[in-house]
Structure 1
Amino acid sequence: MFTACKEEEKPELILLEASAGEFEIPLDGSPADDIPIDRTISLRFSENLDPETISGSVILRANGQLFQVNTNLVSGKTLTVQAQGGFQSGQTHQLEILSSLKSSSGVTYGGKTLSFKTLSGALAINTFTLSGGESLANGRIQNVSLPFEARVAFNFPLNPGTIQAALQLAGPTTPALTFELIENQKVLQIRSATPLTDLSRYSLSIAKTLSGANGESFSGWQQEFYTAIDSNPKFALISDEELLTKVQEQTFRYFWDFAHPASGMARERNTSGNTVTTGGSGFGLMALIVGVERGFITRTQAVERWVQIIGFLENADRFHGAWPHWLNGETGATIPFSAKDNGGDLVETALIVQGLLAVQAYLNPDNSVEKTLIDQIITLWHEVEWDWYTKNDSGGLFWHWSPNYAWEMNLPVSGYNEALIVYVLAASSPTHPIDKTTYAQGWARNGAIRNGNSFYGQTLPLGVDYGGPLFFAHYSFLGLDPRKLQDQYANYWEQNVQHSRINQAHAIANPRSFVAYSDNNWGFTASDNSNGYNAHSPTNDLGVITPTAALSSFPYTPGESMKALKFFYYSLGERVWGEHGFYDAFNITESWYADSYLAIDQGPIVIMIENHRTGLLWNLFMKNPEIKAGLDNLGFTY
């Protein structure tokens, strides 16, 4: 009897389960859909695998492309597979497991191909760079090269047909853009056909119509940036001395050509019509002296203008000898500066008296016309009742008095600010003087005027932290000579030098990340801005640079101020330079440039550049023996 023998079955390595993260992949070869591109494939087998057979036994393809994979054996029976660089977006992938794979006991695998389709991913920007671009602390990008070039790296290859229509560059000019795709179509290089405008704000945008090579969607993108300075000068180069003269002459024209025709006074600003300014006209009186000495006008022309102005001042409204802030240039009547400010303004009065006394010192008493002017100036100066403005000896001087509102404005003239000249003139008056106690209590606040702290490495003797707006260092010192001026509270040369240096250092530090601030683009003081008018300073920095700030500091910071002057003139050119010199202010961050001129900003430029060059106005004003007596009375050395 024969017995039939059944053939013994061979053992087989079986793939029990396949998944991509939480998504199952069918083992019968049908594709799994909507697999995220960042998942890892997990393969679980019936037996422990032989690690030596894994390499080369797993092949991943998509769209005809072979992918490099990383494999990792987990707990003996589970193999993980990860595509280097991730799966392709929106594509069907084939994962082939070859028969070369074996178990640790030598059992072979029969082989299988799995299939899955990935989701269409989101197209995103990995990196963005601009040629020459420099990021400020708040993310603003400045100094972008004028031959524009950008490099945008994406996470997926791009569809070339969607690029051109998606690109847009907006700004003062809109040059055509060209592009090139490199690095497997993932990197977009963009260039402009023509250079961009310098020191300007642009915006590069890529619309959401851009798509990836495999249909990836894009949500859109935009980046604002600012271009660099054009190194080519906007005007012909001239010597530094010629440039100083040019600036003085052009700025002087505000007071000569644009003066009110009836009164000769300086209009408040270039749009003021009949509104003339008392303090600004004081600056104009001194600018006329510069005009004569520099040959911009003749002495006869200046005398005729002084006759006109001084005759107007004699008949204009005054309040206990003090003029108001604004006057009607036709009639001499008060124009209220604010609702209750319709009377005497002692600070504005001091600024015009400073100018009158400089003119008095310049005039020739041997000339009959000029002698008459001298006598008129002396009368006006002696008629100012400085002591009245102590408000019945209230411990200091007060800024305003009105016949309608009396002392309701109630603003003391206290330091430290632009008003030192008020106390010097009040102490110097031979007819209505104040005493040293009024100065100590009202101006110096019994020593509270002192500061003594260091800002940006500069020790500031007086005033608020960082010095405040820079006109504090200018208005009182158009005639009052600070070079050796000192009292118990400060050396005023040191005060003004340190204040000016702090002002420039703030622009260099640029803590609020405004565009184009630098050692040659600085100057913070009261001026116009895009929203009106403000007293700009390091602690009230709105991105506004005011040329008068740096230029009127020429005596204190000649090197730093010359850098600023050359930047304003050569780099910014006609954007800031016009018929009457430099316009009032600008803000590169906002792409805003004033078209306005203000008398109180134009005057110090002419005068302080002259004081830097020759000391002319300082020397004239300080010739007055009454001023010297007043300084002596207050305890100054000079």
Structure 2
Amino acid sequence: MTKFASAKRKSHRVRDEAVLERVQRATFQWFVDCQNHDTGLIWDRSRPGCPATIAGVGFALTVYPVAVRRGWINRDNAVAYAVKVLRVLANAPQGEGKSGYSGHRGFFYHFLDPATGLRATAPQFWDSELSTIDTALLMAGVSFARTYFSKRNGLEKEIRSLCTALLERVEWSWMIRADKKIHHGWTPENGIIPHVYGGYSEALLLYLQALAPKNHPAPAECWTSLLDGVKAESFGGKPYIAMPGTPLFCYQYPHCWIDFRGIADDTNRRLGFDYFQNSVRATKAQYRYSVDNPNGWRGYDELDWGLTACDGPGNETKVVDNRERTFRGYSERGCPRGFDDGTLAPTAAISSIVYTPRRSLRTMRFWLKHRPEIFSEMTGFADAFNPTFDTSRSSGWVGSDRVAIDQGPIILMIENYRSGFVWEVMRKDRSLRRALRRAGFKGGWLEK
């Protein structure tokens, strides 16, 4: 390599780092601002009067240490946040009542009153359900915090103690159906929600969290039941496990915390690729879909791509470019099969950076330069935009909100790309290692 080529490559790396730093830092500021500052509970979205989301707290418990690593805050700031929010969660009452409780049997309601940490209920909000997947996302952050805050001072000892108490009181065994699949949740009004998680999805994280604790764990057979019968399909590229709808968040959430590279369970060994490779292939299939643009949506190309669950322009049908188009508000979106109304979610492309680094970086650079209306230095990227819905502007309809569960993966996946930090911390977590082994994973870092 010539000196000129070497200098050019170094210049590109510096430029890329500046882009990543800018996006991460702006997105972190959203977490700082969009929370109840007395409880630390994270708002579901950047809208006054909305409830708190326990999944958002799980992301925040991981995001704050990332901010320490990047020098945006000091460790004492992260400790203060973790102690505050963990005390609220650990001390909030649990029980079967319809109101006045944060959850039941160790699980938490999907949405909480941000001022009290108790169940979000009507008429102020709506009657939230007890959610297994959102409890799992919370506990992923709790697990990270327990491992990261490892110093021997009083506050970090308290953090570890609170984390252990929260992790060990979840009665995962209560949520297991007879066929060893995990239910979606429970409400005091109607009892157990009959739907279960089965097949490949974000539930990889849910089931591993359920396998991890010493108290009330799910049986190991649950992992086999989750993935029973899954198969690989091809959409013009390498085969991968394509879940119904194929939104990208399902290929991202588990990987925010767990490094699946080089470790394999029975399904991986049967199919010949691990879950990280599976996500790479799913992401590339989405990218190809946007480049091919079979439905003729405005803006879809090699720089504008990424479908997942996100906000949308609203439930409306209208004629655009001589074609009748049907649009939705918040909805799951995905491809090559799944619902698509021309709505692109920045989190989908950006949080794929560990899978498609060049494509994700190129898209970020393009959006920052040519779509400034979808980015803010104080809140990061808009949740979604749709160039087809509003043809009067280049980015079309732009969502006004940022959503916690879309903001979190941006910070964590960029950090995993930049340093592997979150993965490195979680590889030290004994409970995660126990869960992976119970699920039949072998190889790679798990053997060290």
Give the deviation of 1:356 after TM superposition. 0.9
Alpha-carbon spacing, 1:627–1:499, altered in 2? closer, same or farther (3 Å): same
Give the secondary-structure state (helix, strand or coil) at the position aligned to 1:411. strand
List aligned pairs for 1:367-382, cutoff 5 A: 367-382=153-168
Residue 342 of structure 1, CA deviation: 3.8
1:481 to 248, 254, 259: 259
| 1:371 partner SS | helix
- CA distance change for structure 1 residues 429 and 463 in 2, over 3 Å: closer, same or farther? farther
Q: Which of residues 290, 304, 307 is equivalent to 1:521?
A: 304
2:222 partner amino acid:
T
Please state whether the residue corresponding to 1:373 is helix, strand or coil: helix
How far apart are 1:600 and its partner, in Å? 0.5
Deviations 1:193-249 (A, max 9, x none): xxxxxxxxxxxxxxxxxxxxxxxxxxxxxxxxxxxxxxxxxxxxx811011011000
Q: Distance in 2 between matches of 1:567 and 1:554?
A: 15
Distance, in Å, in 1 between the alignment partners of 2:108 and 2:402 is 23
Using CA pairs under 8 Å that are at least 6 residues apart, name the structure with larger relative contact order, 1 or 2.
Answer: 2
SS in 1 for 2:52: strand
1:548 corresponds to 2:347: yes
Matches within 5 A, 1:583-622: 583-590=382-389, 591-622=396-427
Quote the Cα distance in structure 2 between the aligned partners of 1:575 and 1:617.
27
Of residues 62, 67, 88, the one that matches 1:286 is 62
Q: Distance in 2 between matches of 1:435 and 1:575?
A: 45
CA distance in 2, matches of 1:552, 1:337: 34
Q: Deviations over 1:256-281 (max 9, x none)?
A: 12221221111000005251001111
What amino acid maps onto 1:457 in structure 2?
G
Supply the distance in 1 between the matched residues of 2:150 and 2:180 (Cα, whole angstroms).
39
In structure 1, the residue matched to 2:176 is 390
2:358 maps to a residue whose letter is G
Q: Which has the larger radius of gyration?
A: 1
For residues 20-31 of structure 1, the aligned pairs below 5 Å read none
Kept after mapping to 2: 8 A contact 1:584/1:598: yes
Aligned partner of 2:89 among 313, 325, 332:
313
Deviation of the 1:315 alpha carbon: 2.7
Shift of 1:560: 1.0
SS at match of 1:266: coil
Give the corresponding residue for 1:454: 234
Task: Write the distance in 2 (CA, Å) between the matches of 1:464 and 1:256.
Answer: 34
> Shift in Å at residue 575 of structure 1?
3.7
| 2:290 counterpart (475, 499, 507) | 507
Could you list the structure 1 runs, at least 4 aligned residues long, displaced by more than 3 angstroms after superposition. Answer: 336-343, 575-578
Q: Hey, which of these two has a bigger chunk of helix by percent?
A: 2
Shift, 1:425, TM fit: 1.2
Is contact 2:237–2:281 with CA below 8 Å preserved after alignment? no
**AA matched with 1:464:** M
Query: Which residue identity does 2:421 align to in structure 1?
Result: L
* Letter aligned with residue 419 of structure 2: T
Are residues 1:492 and 2:271 paired? no
Counterpart amino acid of residue 64 in structure 2:
L
> After the TM superposition, which of the residue ranges 332-341 and 568-577 deviates more from structure 2?
332-341
**Offset of 1:475 from its aligned partner?**
1.1
Query: Counterpart amino acid of 2:39?
Result: S
Shift, 1:340, TM fit: 9.9
Tell me what 1:330 maps to. Answer: 115
Asked if the contact 1:415–1:463 (Cα under 8 Å) also holds between the matched residues in 2, the reply is: no
**Residue identity matched to 1:568:** W
**Shift of residue 289 of structure 1?**
1.0
User: Is the 2:242–2:282 contact (alpha carbons within 8 Å) kept by the matching residues of 1?
Assistant: no
Q: Indicate the residue corresponding to 1:353 in structure 2.
A: 139
Unaligned 5+ segments in structure 1 are: 1-237
Aligned to 2:188, the other structure's residue is in SS state: coil
Contact 2:120 2:126 in 1 (8 A): no
After the TM superposition, which residues 179-258 of structure 1 pair with which residues of structure 2 at under 5 Å, given as runs? 239-258=15-34
**What's the % identity of the aligned pairs?**
31
| Alignment equivalent of 1:536, drawn from 326, 333, 343 | 333
Could you say what secondary structure the match of 1:535 adopts?
A: coil
- Write the distance in 1 (CA, Å) between the matches of 2:412 and 2:284: 20
Alpha-carbon distance, 1:463 to partner: 3.2
Answer whether contact 2:35 2:114 (CA < 8 A) is retained: no
Secondary structure of 1:400 counterpart = strand
Distance (Å, rounded) in 2 between the aligned partners of 1:582 and 1:575: 6
Give SS of 2:331's match. strand
- TM-score, with length taken from structure 1: 0.60
CA distance in 2, matches of 1:604, 1:485: 22
Q: Is 1:401 aligned to 2:180, yes or no?
A: no
| Structure holding more strand per residue | 1
> Structure 2: how far apart are the matches of 1:342 and 1:514?
35
Alignment-derived partner of residue 224 in structure 2: 440
Distance in structure 2 (CA, Å) of the matches to 1:426 and 1:563: 38
Residue 75 of structure 2 is matched in structure 1 by 299
Q: Deviations over 1:67-86 (max 9, x none)?
A: xxxxxxxxxxxxxxxxxxxx
Picking from 152, 169, 173, the partner of 1:366 is: 152
Instruction: Tell me by how many angstroms 1:587 deviates.
Output: 0.7
Given that 2:247 and 2:309 are in contact with CA atoms closer than 8 Å, whether structure 1 keeps it comes out as yes
CA-to-aligned-CA distance 1:550-606 (integer Å, 9 cap, x gap): 100111110111111112111111344452100111011122111210000111000
Conserved 8 A contact 2:310-2:345: yes
Conserved? CA contact 2:145–2:159, under 8 Å = no
**2:233 alignment partner AA:** N
CA RMSD of aligned residues (A): 2.0
In the superposition, relative to structure 1, how do residues 254 and 357 fare at CA in structure 2: closer, same or farther (>3 Å)? same
Count of residues paired in the alignment: 394
Deviations 1:387-409 (A, max 9, x none): 11114x442111112233111x2
Q: State the alpha-carbon separation in 2 of the partners of residues 364 and 337 from structure 1.
A: 40
User: Is structure 2 residue 351 aligned with structure 1 residue 565?
Assistant: no
| CA–CA distance in structure 1, aligned partners of residues 341 and 29 of structure 2 | 29
